[in-house]
């Protein structure tokens, strides 16, 4: 497995792989790898000849009061985990390799970045789209695998890829969960035992919302109210948003339409840890 630290070297590797007619799948990560990331890598391995993983904690996507400094960075363990699934190359740049001192170019995707995560975390998506654009230019993949847990992020990246004509297929891979239903996330490491139990309400709320829609409920407010009651039935959760939206556009409507695909989206603080999760539901 190659460990690559510079953009130029990464581009040389991809050039060589492409010259040998090998297809490339790419998994962007911020490290602190868990089985959700490994699942993306397994899908990447099945899809293409070569699998590249990037590990880069991107300062541009963290707000001033967010957890950039304390974000976990178990890099040796991450490298070992990549080896276990047969990754071919790990791209491991330092911050100064990606952002030179006078770096001043960013990528902004309109509309779909304005709500939910974008409303709560100003300039977060600008940081994500800028780094993903740079990573795509460094790795030049045929496919890029991203996890459904960050549902809006995947839609934002798909929009960027389509608007800027990046020659890559973005694949959304279903969320990996612990046995109790908690979506795997590097931020779960911040949770105490009791907070972890509290966090399970998020999944429960999503399943209550899904059940209502499956049973024929079509009024967004009643679905959102039901999900909120589940979240608020325990101490220690602060809701950021808890919404039903169209699964493609993230637009919100008062009444869901038959045959529409919707997504239930929750972001909530459990203690000081902000967690997100979602569930896609087809309306009958």
Residues that bind ligand PAF (CB under 6 A): 28-30, 58, 61, 128, 131-132, 150, 153
Nearer to ligand PAF, 147 or 209 (CB): 147
Cα dihedral 88/89/90/91 (nearest 10): -160
- E-strand spans in 41-119? 50-55, 89-91
CA 186, CA 86: separation in Å to the nearest integer?
A: 21
Is residue 163 left, alpha or beta, with left meaning phi > 0 and alpha meaning psi from -120 to 50? alpha
What is the smallest separation between the CB atom of 198 and ligand PAF, expressed in angstroms? Answer: 24
* Catalytic status, residue 37: yes
> Measured from the CB of residue 21, what is the shortest distance to ligand PAF in angstroms?
28
Report the largest interatomic distance among the alpha carbons of the chain, rounded to a whole angstrom. Answer: 58
Which C-beta is closer to ligand PAF: that of 153 or that of 228? Answer: 153
Distance of alpha carbon 81 from alpha carbon 61, whole angstroms = 25
Closer residue to ligand PAF, CB minimum distance, 17 or 125 = 125
In the complex, the smallest distance separating the C-beta of residue 29 from ligand PAF, rounded to whole angstroms, is 5
Which one, 157 or 227, has the nearer CB to ligand PAF? 157
Q: How far from chain centre, in Å, is Cα 89?
A: 21
User: Smallest gap, in angstroms, from Cβ of residue 254 to ligand PAF?
Assistant: 32
Which is catalytic among the residues 37, 96, 124, 284?
Answer: 37
The catalytic site residues sit at 37
């Amino acid at each position: 497995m190659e460990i690559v630290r510079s953009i130029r070297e990464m581009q040389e590797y991809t050039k060589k792989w492409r010259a040998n007619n090998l297809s490339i799948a790419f998994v962007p990560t911020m490290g602190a790898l868990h089985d959700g990331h490994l699942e993306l890598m397994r899908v990447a391995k099945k899809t293409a000849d070569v699998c590249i993983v990037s590990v880069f904690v991107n300062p541009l996507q963290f707000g001033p009061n967010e957890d950039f400094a304390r974000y976990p960075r178990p890099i040796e363990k991450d490298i070992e985990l990549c080896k276990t699934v047969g990754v071919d190359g790990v791209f491991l740049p330092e911050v100064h390799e990606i952002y030179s001192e006078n770096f001043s170019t960013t990528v902004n995707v309109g509309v779909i970045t304005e709500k939910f995560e974008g409303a709560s975390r100003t300039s977060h998506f600008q940081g994500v789209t800028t780094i993903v654009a740079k990573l795509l230019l460094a790795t030049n993949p045929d496919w890029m695998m991203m996890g459904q847990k960050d549902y809006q992020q995947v839609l934002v990246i798909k929009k960027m890829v389509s608007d800027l004509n990046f020659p890559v297929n973005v694949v959304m891979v279903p969320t990996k969960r612990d046995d109790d239903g908690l979506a795997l996330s590097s931020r779960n490491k911040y949770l105490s035992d009791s907070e972890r139990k509290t966090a399970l309400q998020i999944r429960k709320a999503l399943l209550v919302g899904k059940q209502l829609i499956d049973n024929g409920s079509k009024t967004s407010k009643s679905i959102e109210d039901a999900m909120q009651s589940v979240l608020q039935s325990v101490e220690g959760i602060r809701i950021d948003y808890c919404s039903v939206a169209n699964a493609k556009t993230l637009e919100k409507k008062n009444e869901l339409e038959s045959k529409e695909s919707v997504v239930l989206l929750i972001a909530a603080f459990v203690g000081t840890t902000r967690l997100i999760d979602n569930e896609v539901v087809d309306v009958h």
